[in-house]
């Protein structure tokens, strides 16, 4: 199989299913990013092992150098939910696989221990090549200073912008527009306010198997949707963007968003249960 190497650097999260899914979709569509920065984002978890805990409190810089994080371990219930939520997609991804092999996705992979996007080590790597495109997959807020320096970061947000911006986009899209919506845009310092490249809406699939589980297991179900359902749409949408320009990201056309629209915040559990029941059952 021949792959087209694209002028793209994926800023991946070593432990994030979204990163894996983006890369898998690119791979299946015969694209390879020129490199992957595979980050162990340290902001998202505190050390668990005794030695690392001690190091963390004594010397943050040293801790960063030697930090390790156990791969995600999913319970059999969550693994079953992952399988269920992937049943309608062309590719099923093994999120439970330990020590996932990323080497087939790119010839150039760099592993990093990074606090977050404010980490000078990550920033200097990103700023070393501002002519390229980066793909955001996870890692928290990207500081304004990076955008001020002209960095181009692509993002696929689970909502039709400008109507669904902010947190819990997948759920708010379903509640306010009865569809799943995804938008690919250039990030800027605002919340989902960057220039729009492509967007598409999808009908949600039905999973009657979860109907009786929602009341008491809504949290596990909701997280499993975010881990194993939502990333497929991001992967699909991003692959379409790549295919539309045959992998030549310099040919992307983006339009400035209108200033109208809505910003949503974290959804309350009672509304989450309503959405899960009405949209997926």
Partner 1 sequence: MMPTLNNLQAFLQEIPSFSLVETENLFDTELFLQNLKWGCYELNEINSLDKLCKKVDVLKVIFKFYSADLLKKLSSESINHDSYNRLACHLIGIFITTNDYKFLNTLLKIMDGVLINSTYHMPLKLRNLCEGFLTDVL
From residue 133 to residue 172, the character string flagging contacts with partner 1 as x (rule: CB under 8 A) and all else as - is ---------------------------------------x
Judged by CB under 8 A, does residue 274 bind partner 1? yes
The distance of closest approach from Cβ of residue 270 to partner 1 in the complex, given in angstroms and rounded to an integer, is: 6
Judged by CB under 8 A, does residue 263 bind partner 1? yes
Q: Which of 54, 130, 223, 266 binds partner 1 (CB under 8 A)?
A: 266
Asked if 225 and 82 touch (Cβ cutoff 8 Å), the reply is: no
Nearest CA-CA partner of 32 in 2, 60, 63: 2
Judged by CB under 8 A, does residue 124 bind partner 1? no
Dihedral (CA of 236, 240, 246, 248) sign: negative
CA distance 138 to 271: 25
Kindly compute the dihedral angle of the four CA atoms of residues 26, 227, 202, 236, in this order, to the nearest 10 degrees: 0
Give the residue with the Cβ less far from partner 1, 9 or 170. Answer: 170
Contact positions with partner 1 (CB under 8 A) in 171-230 = 172, 175-176
Q: Which of 267, 276, 279, 280 binds partner 1 (CB under 8 A)?
A: 267
* Residue 30, token pair as written in the block: 């015969």
Rounded alpha-carbon distances, angstroms, from residue 59 to 46, 51, 68, 91, 147:
14, 12, 15, 43, 31
Which residues contact partner 1 (rule: CB under 8 A)?
172, 175-176, 262-268, 270-271, 273-274
């Amino acid at each position: 199989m021949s792959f087209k190497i694209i002028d793209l650097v994926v800023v991946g999260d070593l432990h994030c299913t979204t990163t894996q899914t983006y890369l898998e979709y690119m791979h299946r569509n015969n694209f390879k990013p020129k490199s992957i920065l595979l980050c162990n984002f340290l902001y998202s978890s505190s050390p668990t092992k005794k030695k690392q805990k001690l190091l963390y409190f004594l010397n943050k810089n040293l801790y960063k150098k030697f930090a390790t994080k156990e791969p995600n371990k999913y319970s059999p219930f969550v693994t079953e939910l992952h399988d269920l939520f992937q049943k309608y997609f062309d590719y099923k991804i093994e999120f439970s696989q330990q020590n996932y092999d990323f080497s087939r996705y790119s010839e150039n992979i760099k592993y990093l221990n990074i606090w977050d996007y404010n980490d000078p080590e990550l920033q200097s790597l990103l700023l070393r090549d501002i002519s390229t495109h980066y793909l955001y997959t996870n890692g928290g807020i990207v500081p304004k200073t990076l955008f001020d320096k002209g960095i181009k970061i692509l993002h696929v947000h689970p909502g039709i912008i400008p109507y669904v911006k902010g947190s819990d986009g997948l759920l708010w899209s379903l509640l306010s527009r009865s569809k799943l919506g995804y938008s690919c845009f250039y990030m800027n310092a605002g919340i989902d306010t960057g220039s729009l490249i492509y967007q598409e809406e999808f009908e949600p699939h039905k999973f009657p198997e979860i109907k009786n589980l929602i009341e008491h297991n809504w949290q596990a179900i909701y997280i499993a949707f975010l881990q194993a359902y939502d990333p497929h749409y991001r992967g699909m949408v991003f692959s379409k963007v790549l295919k539309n320009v045959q992998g030549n990201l310099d040919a992307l056309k983006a339009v400035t968003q209108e200033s109208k629209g809505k910003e949503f915040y974290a959804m309350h559990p009672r509304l989450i249960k309503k959405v899960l029941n009405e949209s997926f059952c």
